[in-house]
């Protein structure tokens, strides 16, 4: 690999591409225009529409005008995605049928050109750095394995980066190498003439997600939220002036089992799912987010488009602590900082929220917005209540303690819990204290020092006020049956 990279450096630094291209054109015959894979430069796409899903999959539809003769003819479609799934290709051409199709993804590059030249003869152009005199030698490429091995006459030579100007000149461009990813189709045309061809296929490496920026104002109890659609294209192809439609929802794909998907962020919000019907267009169980104007999605580009901008939605902040099972913490643990708001039509954000990351900011004493944490959300229907855990509190701590655990009989245990809550801040707070892990057995609360709510089979929740620079205690007895 090191020798290959040296050769690439030699080819690019000592022989810039324009000069190399001029040498090829001057010294070697090229295929006739009819046999050329495609013209280098420009873009061969037609009227492009791209539908992008959340699960690293996109549907590309490209309508191009074709001029065909009668009978069988090979037609090339350059500028398709390099991550195309060839088995998903669909081509509709009036008065023509598909005989065969091939996807050529072996792209033209200095290294691929040299690798394809193994067994062939090339020209080496050397320049004397002292006199500027040029000499040419014909060389046969023997191997490209960690370096380029050449036979020049009766000697074997390794193409080295020894500081001497040298340029490799190739007699031709191999037919198997393409300047751009290309789909080649053999058509049987019933008539001659120009007609539209509709090319459709699925591709990987073209995705989108939602990103949200939220500015919380604790004094007024409001939040400003701006939503951005973030498009990422690493397909190897630019989609020019494309109609773009985004689909919020997870679609099943038989190819999913072969695709690595990284873990989601650690903190997940608490959401009470809403029941309001949103104003967005729906397709089956999915929400559609069309971009208002055509856009060019360049390869190796991240593009952001605004889709949500809400000012002054109602919001509150607080603290939440979850004890995952009936156990003791050796040290007090931080409660989570929580921001609560809704996306209801009245008083909320007023829109369904596609999955993404919400980043929360607050203004400091100088009025400057400061980042206070982030959390990921799943697809969230309109009317939902959202509680984002943005970080761990500095001043608010909770220590759960098992005071006793007694075996009543062969199938029953009694556990007495004490929860010590402290607040070192200068303002009183309310901590949402949750005891989790109650659903792995039949667990009932027989005594508690303050009323709580069994929100589901696994959790009981208490709302506990804690004074400034003060503390509070909650006790509860749990009867567990196996």
pLDDT tens readout for residues 42-63:
578 999 999 999 888 999 999 9
Q: What is the DSSP string of 79-100?
A: S--TTB-GGG-EEE-TTEEEEE
Between CA 266 and CA 44 the distance in angstroms is 44
As given in the structure block, the two tokens for residue 187 are 């058509």
Does residue 114 sit in helix, strand or coil? Answer: helix
Between CA 466 and CA 473 the distance in angstroms is 9
Q: pLDDT at position 220, please?
A: 92
Give the pairing type, strands 155-158 and 206-217: unpaired
Furthest-apart CA pair in the chain: how many Å? Answer: 101
Summary mean pLDDT of the chain: 82
- What is the residue whose two structure tokens read 């080295």? 160
H or E, element range at 269: none
Between CA 8 and CA 157 the distance in angstroms is 17
Q: pLDDT at position 190, please?
A: 93
- What is the residue whose two structure tokens read 């989570």? 336
Between CA 436 and CA 462 the distance in angstroms is 12
Q: pLDDT at position 160, please?
A: 67
- What is the residue whose two structure tokens read 């991240």? 302
Q: Which residues pair with 31 in a beta bridge?
A: none
Between CA 108 and CA 21 the distance in angstroms is 13
Low-confidence ranges of the chain (pLDDT < 70): 1-42, 103-109, 112, 160-164, 175-181, 252-268, 270
Between CA 13 and CA 17 the distance in angstroms is 9
Q: Please compute, for residue 118, the number of CA atoms within 13 A of its CA located in the half-sphere on the CB side.
A: 11
Instruction: List Cβ neighbours of 458 (8 Å cut-off, separation of 6 or more).
Output: 436, 437, 438, 439
Between CA 102 and CA 81 the distance in angstroms is 14
Could you tell me which CATH class the domain 33-107+178-203 is placed in? mainly beta
H or E, element range at 112: helix 110-116
Q: pLDDT at position 5, please?
A: 37
Q: Which residues pair with 454 in a beta bridge?
A: 460
Q: pLDDT at position 393, please?
A: 93
Q: pLDDT at position 294, please?
A: 92
Q: What are the residue ranges spanned by the domains of the chain?
A: 2-30+118-169, 33-107+178-203, 206-241+254-481
The CB density around residue 372, as the number of other CB atoms within 10 Å, is 16
Q: In this predicted model, what pLDDT tens digit does every residue of 213-270 receive, in sequence order?
A: 999 998 899 999 999 999 999 998 899 999 999 998 777 665 544 444 444 444 567 6
Residues 32 and 41 sit within 8 Å (Cβ to Cβ): no
- What is the residue whose two structure tokens read 């030699």? 10
Q: pLDDT at position 384, please?
A: 93
Give the pairing type, strands 270-272 and 295-297: unpaired
As given in the structure block, the two tokens for residue 249 are 């929802």
Phi, psi values for residue 6, rounded to 5°: -65, -40
């Amino acid at each position: 690999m090191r020798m290959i990279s040296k050769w690439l450096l030699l080819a690019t630094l000592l022989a810039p591409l324009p000069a190399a291209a001029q040498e090829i054109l001057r010294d070697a015959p090229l295929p006739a225009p009819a046999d050329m894979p495609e013209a280098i430069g420009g873009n061969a796409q037609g009227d492009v529409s791209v539908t992008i899903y959340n699960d690293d999959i996109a549907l590309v539809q490209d309508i191009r005008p074709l001029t065909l003769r009668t009978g069988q003819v090979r037609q090339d479609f350059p500028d398709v995605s390099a991550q195309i799934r060839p088995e998903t290709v669909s081509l509709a051409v009036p008065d023509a049928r598909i005989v065969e199709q091939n996807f050529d993804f072996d792209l033209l590059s200095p290294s691929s050109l040299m690798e394809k030249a193994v067994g062939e003869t090339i020209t080496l152009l050397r320049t004397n750095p002292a006199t500027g005199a040029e000499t040419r030698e014909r060389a046969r490429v023997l191997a490209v394995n960690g370096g380029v091995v050449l036979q020049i006459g009766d000697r074997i030579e390794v193409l080295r980066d020894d500081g001497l100007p040298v340029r490799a000149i190739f007699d031709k461009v191999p037919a198997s190498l393409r300047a751009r990813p290309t789909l080649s189709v053999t058509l049987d045309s019933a008539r001659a003439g120009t007609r539209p061809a509709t090319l459709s296929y699925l591709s990987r490496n073209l995705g989108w997600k939602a990103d949200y920026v939220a500015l919380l104002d604790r004094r007024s109890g409001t939040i400003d939220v701006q939503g951005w659609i973030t498009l990422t294209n690493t397909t190897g192809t630019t989609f020019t002036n494309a109609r773009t439609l985004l689909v919020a929802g997870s679609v099943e794909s038989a190819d999913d089992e072969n695709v690595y998907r990284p873990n989601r962020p650690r903190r997940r919000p608490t959401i009470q799912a809403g029941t309001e019907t949103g104003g967005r267009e729906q397709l089956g169980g999915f929400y559609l987010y069309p971009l208002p104007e055509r856009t060019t999605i360049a390869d190796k580009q991240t593009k952001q488009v605004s889709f949500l901008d809400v000012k002054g939605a109602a919001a509150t902040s607080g603290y939440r602590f979850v004890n995952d099972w009936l156990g003791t913490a050796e040290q007090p643990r931080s409660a989570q900082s929580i921001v609560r708001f809704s996306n209801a039509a009245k008083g909320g954000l007023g829109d369904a929220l596609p999955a993404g990351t919400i980043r929360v900011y607050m203004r400091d004493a100088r009025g400057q917005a400061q980042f206070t944490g982030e959390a990921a959300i799943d697809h969230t229907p309109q009317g939902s209540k959202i509680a984002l855990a943005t970080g761990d509190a500095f001043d608010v701590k909770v220590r759960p303690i098992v005071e006793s655990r007694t075996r009543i009989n062969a199938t029953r245990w009694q556990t007495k819990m004490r929860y010590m809550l402290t607040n070192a801040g200068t303002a009183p707070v309310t901590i949402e204290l949750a005891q989790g892990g109650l659903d792995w057995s039949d667990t009932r609360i027989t005594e508690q020092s303050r009323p709580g709510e069994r929100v589901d089979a696994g959790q009981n929740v208490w709302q506990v006020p804690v004074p400034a620079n003060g503390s509070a205690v909650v006790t509860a007895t749990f009867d567990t049956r196996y």
